[in-house]
Amino acid sequence: METGQIKQEEENFSELQILLEKKRNNINDSIAEFSELLKNINSIAELQVKIYSYRQIVLEDKFKLMDTISKLNQIWRREFAKKFDEYTFNSDYRYDKEQKENRILNDLKNLNFKRELLKNQLEFIKESISTIDNLIYGIKYRIQIEEWRRTI
Protein backbone atom coordinates (compact mmCIF):
# COMPACT_ATOMS: atom_id res chain seq x y z
CA MET A 1 0.00 0.00 0.00
CA GLU A 2 1.35 3.40 -0.95
CA THR A 3 2.03 6.08 1.62
CA GLY A 4 -0.44 8.42 -0.10
CA GLN A 5 -3.16 5.78 -0.01
CA ILE A 6 -2.51 5.08 3.67
CA LYS A 7 -2.70 8.81 4.44
CA GLN A 8 -5.99 9.11 2.50
CA GLU A 9 -7.51 6.19 4.39
CA GLU A 10 -6.44 7.70 7.72
CA GLU A 11 -8.09 10.98 6.72
CA ASN A 12 -11.27 9.10 5.77
CA PHE A 13 -11.27 7.38 9.17
CA SER A 14 -10.77 10.72 10.90
CA GLU A 15 -13.67 12.21 8.96
CA LEU A 16 -15.87 9.25 9.86
CA GLN A 17 -14.91 9.51 13.53
CA ILE A 18 -15.63 13.26 13.54
CA LEU A 19 -19.02 12.71 11.86
CA LEU A 20 -20.00 10.01 14.36
CA GLU A 21 -18.83 12.17 17.28
CA LYS A 22 -20.94 15.09 16.03
CA LYS A 23 -23.98 12.84 15.85
CA ARG A 24 -23.33 11.58 19.39
CA ASN A 25 -22.94 15.15 20.65
CA ASN A 26 -26.18 16.14 18.94
CA ILE A 27 -28.02 13.27 20.64
CA ASN A 28 -26.46 14.12 24.01
CA ASP A 29 -27.43 17.78 23.65
CA SER A 30 -31.01 16.88 22.75
CA ILE A 31 -31.33 14.53 25.72
CA ALA A 32 -29.97 17.25 28.00
CA GLU A 33 -32.53 19.69 26.55
CA PHE A 34 -35.32 17.18 27.19
CA SER A 35 -34.16 16.74 30.78
CA GLU A 36 -34.29 20.50 31.30
CA LEU A 37 -37.80 20.69 29.81
CA LEU A 38 -38.91 17.90 32.15
CA LYS A 39 -37.98 20.05 35.16
CA ASN A 40 -40.59 22.68 34.36
CA ILE A 41 -44.19 21.49 34.39
CA ASN A 42 -45.19 24.34 32.06
CA SER A 43 -42.97 22.93 29.31
CA ILE A 44 -44.31 19.35 29.40
CA ALA A 45 -46.46 19.82 26.27
CA GLU A 46 -43.47 21.17 24.34
CA LEU A 47 -41.36 18.30 25.66
CA GLN A 48 -43.85 15.70 24.49
CA VAL A 49 -43.93 17.10 20.97
CA LYS A 50 -40.16 17.33 20.73
CA ILE A 51 -39.27 14.04 22.39
CA TYR A 52 -41.60 11.84 20.35
CA SER A 53 -40.48 13.33 17.05
CA TYR A 54 -36.83 13.17 18.09
CA ARG A 55 -37.20 9.55 19.14
CA GLN A 56 -38.50 8.78 15.66
CA ILE A 57 -35.52 10.55 14.08
CA VAL A 58 -33.07 8.59 16.22
CA LEU A 59 -34.88 5.34 15.37
CA GLU A 60 -34.55 6.14 11.69
CA ASP A 61 -30.82 6.80 12.19
CA LYS A 62 -30.55 3.47 13.98
CA PHE A 63 -32.08 1.55 11.09
CA LYS A 64 -29.97 3.38 8.50
CA LEU A 65 -26.90 2.50 10.53
CA MET A 66 -28.01 -1.13 10.82
CA ASP A 67 -28.43 -1.22 7.03
CA THR A 68 -24.93 0.19 6.53
CA ILE A 69 -23.47 -2.33 8.97
CA SER A 70 -25.25 -5.17 7.15
CA LYS A 71 -23.76 -4.04 3.84
CA LEU A 72 -20.30 -3.79 5.40
CA ASN A 73 -20.70 -7.26 6.89
CA GLN A 74 -21.63 -8.59 3.46
CA ILE A 75 -18.52 -6.98 1.96
CA TRP A 76 -16.47 -8.36 4.88
CA ARG A 77 -17.66 -11.92 4.31
CA ARG A 78 -17.04 -11.70 0.56
CA GLU A 79 -13.55 -10.22 0.99
CA PHE A 80 -12.70 -12.68 3.76
CA ALA A 81 -13.64 -15.61 1.50
CA LYS A 82 -11.59 -14.17 -1.38
CA LYS A 83 -8.55 -13.69 0.81
CA PHE A 84 -8.96 -17.13 2.35
CA ASP A 85 -8.99 -18.72 -1.11
CA GLU A 86 -6.05 -16.56 -2.13
CA TYR A 87 -3.95 -17.71 0.83
CA THR A 88 -5.09 -21.31 0.36
CA PHE A 89 -4.66 -21.74 -3.40
CA ASN A 90 -2.52 -18.88 -4.74
CA SER A 91 0.26 -18.75 -2.19
CA ASP A 92 3.65 -20.39 -2.51
CA TYR A 93 3.70 -20.82 1.25
CA ARG A 94 1.30 -23.20 2.97
CA TYR A 95 -0.37 -21.44 5.88
CA ASP A 96 -2.33 -23.16 8.59
CA LYS A 97 -5.83 -21.89 9.36
CA GLU A 98 -4.75 -19.53 12.16
CA GLN A 99 -2.00 -17.99 10.04
CA LYS A 100 -4.45 -17.43 7.18
CA GLU A 101 -6.97 -15.80 9.48
CA ASN A 102 -4.32 -13.53 11.01
CA ARG A 103 -3.12 -12.45 7.58
CA ILE A 104 -6.69 -11.86 6.41
CA LEU A 105 -7.49 -9.80 9.51
CA ASN A 106 -4.42 -7.71 8.78
CA ASP A 107 -5.39 -7.32 5.11
CA LEU A 108 -8.95 -6.29 6.02
CA LYS A 109 -8.10 -4.17 9.07
CA ASN A 110 -9.48 -0.97 7.51
CA LEU A 111 -12.82 -2.54 6.72
CA ASN A 112 -12.92 -4.09 10.19
CA PHE A 113 -12.13 -0.71 11.76
CA LYS A 114 -15.12 0.86 9.97
CA ARG A 115 -17.34 -2.00 11.09
CA GLU A 116 -16.25 -1.55 14.71
CA LEU A 117 -16.80 2.22 14.60
CA LEU A 118 -20.31 1.75 13.26
CA LYS A 119 -21.11 -1.03 15.74
CA ASN A 120 -20.06 1.25 18.60
CA GLN A 121 -22.23 4.03 17.18
CA LEU A 122 -25.16 1.62 16.93
CA GLU A 123 -24.72 0.63 20.57
CA PHE A 124 -24.67 4.31 21.55
CA ILE A 125 -27.87 4.96 19.61
CA LYS A 126 -29.60 1.96 21.23
CA GLU A 127 -28.68 3.24 24.69
CA SER A 128 -29.82 6.74 23.74
CA ILE A 129 -33.20 5.42 22.61
CA SER A 130 -33.47 3.68 25.98
CA THR A 131 -32.71 6.97 27.73
CA ILE A 132 -35.33 8.77 25.64
CA ASP A 133 -37.85 6.05 26.50
CA ASN A 134 -37.06 6.55 30.19
CA LEU A 135 -37.65 10.28 29.82
CA ILE A 136 -40.97 9.60 28.10
CA TYR A 137 -41.90 7.23 30.91
CA GLY A 138 -40.92 9.93 33.42
CA ILE A 139 -43.31 12.50 31.96
CA LYS A 140 -46.29 10.71 33.48
CA TYR A 141 -44.69 10.71 36.91
CA ARG A 142 -43.61 14.33 36.60
CA ILE A 143 -47.26 15.27 36.01
CA GLN A 144 -48.37 13.12 38.96
CA ILE A 145 -45.81 14.76 41.24
CA GLU A 146 -47.02 18.21 40.22
CA GLU A 147 -50.64 17.21 40.83
CA TRP A 148 -49.69 15.87 44.26
CA ARG A 149 -47.80 19.10 45.10
CA ARG A 150 -50.86 21.18 44.18
CA THR A 151 -53.11 19.16 46.50
CA ILE A 152 -50.91 19.84 49.51
- Tally of CB atoms within 10 A around 29: 10
Rounded to whole angstroms, how far apart are CA atoms 14 and 108?
18
- Residue range 82-100: mean pLDDT, rounded: 90
- Residue 7 is predicted with a pLDDT of 62
pLDDT at residue 87 above 60?
yes
Q: Report pLDDT digits (tens) over 62-74.
A: 999 999 999 999 9
Please, which pLDDT band fits residue 13 given cuts at 50, 70 and 90? confident
Q: Report pLDDT digits (tens) over 107-119.
A: 999 999 999 999 9
Rounded to whole angstroms, how far apart are CA atoms 107 and 36?
48
- Residue 11 is predicted with a pLDDT of 72
Rounded to whole angstroms, how far apart are CA atoms 29 and 134?
16
Look up the pTM and report it: 0.85
